């Protein structure tokens, strides 16, 4: 996975801000960059040889072969990088190459050749979760225009102990360090479960083919695990859209409006027995005007853990007024 960033159209003084936090790397490390100085904004790749500090970028040259690598670190390493945020006994996480197959898992894959594979055993406690942390902006600013998407594949399991309603879920974690409304719990995770969508009522997730969830402020139902004046609903109703949790009278208290989205997670478990699922093609779209601070880490190379050329295509798209920054499979 390459780091595609706006460099040539920015002044040197802005580089350390746009590439926050400062990158620690060895001299000569190569980043893959896309030149957004002129439209169209999908113009040629460029390389930047990087010294010990991000402010010392130099020697822009044509880059015919971009870096293509995706990583899931074994633990949190830096903002903007995927990592195993929860992995219990009885669960697994892996990046797998699906090429060479003949079934729907391979032929329908949205972004071949690789995807993330999540499994759980026949226990309620098993969970496998992969997250990316960052300062994505405050709830009141980003929710009205946020766009999220991911693709998943649920494998059919005839075992009666298998949870037929479970499928990879999407979680958004918000945090506000200041409590003004009487509830000291100002940390909450909103969870989008395919079996509650599109609603109303339960829906059995499709097995044996890739499905894509597309979510925005007004479309997509979420439960929450408690905070901002609400008791956790343990995987069920009340269900609300992101807009509903922000603005409805029976949604979160007003402290939520200033809570920062700090983490995005995809996972299976807990209480998701005998899952054999995959996910890919994650999209997080947040216009830059809506962000409390523009802060992005480096995507690659990874610091260890699960890595594979051409792996998971995870798109982090923060729009500028002109062009955009994307971290994705090059």
What Å distances lie between residue 169 and 140, 152, 267, CA to CA? Answer: 23, 9, 5
Q: Are residues 87 and 216 in the same domain?
A: yes
In 3D, which of 74, 56, 115 has the Cα closest to residue 310? 115
Structure tokens at 58: 């130099």
Q: Which CATH number does the domain housing residue 98 bear?
A: 2.60.120
Four-point Cα dihedral 321, 327, 329, 330, nearest 10: 60
- Can you give the residue range of the structural domain that contains 172? 70-328
pTM for this prediction: 0.72
Q: Which residues contact 65 (CB under 8 A, 6 or more apart)?
A: none
- 163-179 per-position pLDDT tens digit: 999 999 999 999 999 99
CA distance 67 to 64: 10
Q: Are residues 28 and 169 in the same domain?
A: no
With beta carbons less than 8 A apart as the criterion, state whether 286 and 146 touch: yes
Mean of per-residue pLDDT scores for the chain: 74
- 201-221 per-position pLDDT tens digit: 999 999 999 999 999 999 999
Structure tokens at 191: 């969870």
Which of 3-12, 218-227, 229-238, 300-309 is the least confident region? Answer: 3-12
In 3D, which of 48, 40, 42 has the Cα closest to residue 8? 48
Number of domain units in the chain:
2
CA distance 285 to 283: 6
Residue that terminates a domain, selected from 41, 62, 83: 62
């Amino acid at each position: 996975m390459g780091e595609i960033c706006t460099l040539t159209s920015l002044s040197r003084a802005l580089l350390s801000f746009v590439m926050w936090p400062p990158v620690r790397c060895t001299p000569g490390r190569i980043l893959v960059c896309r030149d957004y100085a002129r439209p169209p904004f999908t113009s040629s790749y460029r390389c930047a040889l990087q010294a010990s500090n991000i402010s010392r970028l130099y020697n822009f040259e044509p880059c015919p072969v971009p870096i293509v690598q995706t990583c899931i670190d074994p633990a949190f390493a830096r903002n903007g990088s995927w990592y195993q945020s929860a992995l219990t006994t009885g669960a697994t996480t892996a990046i797998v190459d699906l090429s060479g197959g003949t079934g729907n898992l391979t032929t329908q894959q949205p972004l071949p050749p690789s995807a993330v594979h999540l499994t759980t055993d026949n226990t309620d406690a098993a969970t496998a979760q992969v997250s990316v942390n960052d300062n994505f902006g405050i709830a009141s600013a980003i929710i009205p225009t946020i766009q999220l998407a991911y693709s998943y594949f649920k494998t059919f399991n005839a075992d009666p102990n298998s949870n037929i309603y479970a499928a990879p879920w999407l979680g958004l974690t918000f945090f506000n360090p200041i409590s003004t409304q009487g509830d000291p719990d100002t940390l909450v995770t909103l969870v989008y479960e395919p079996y509650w969508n599109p609603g109303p009522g339960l829906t059995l997730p499709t097995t044996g083919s890739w499905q894509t969830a597309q979510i925005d402020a007004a479309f997509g139902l979420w439960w929450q695990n408690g905070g901002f004046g609400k008791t956790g609903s343990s995987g069920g109703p009340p269900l609300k859209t992101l807009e509903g949790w922000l603005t409805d009278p029976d949604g979160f208290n007003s402290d939520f409006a200033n809570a920062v989205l700090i983490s995005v997670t995809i996972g299976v478990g807990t209480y998701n027995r005998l899952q054999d699922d995959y996910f890919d093609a994650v999209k997080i779209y947040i216009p830059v005007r809506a962000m409390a601070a523009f802060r992005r880490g480096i995507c690659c190379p990874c610091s260890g853990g699960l890595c594979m050329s051409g792996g998971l295509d995870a798109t982090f798209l923060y729009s500028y007024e002109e062009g955009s920054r994307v971290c994705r499979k090059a």
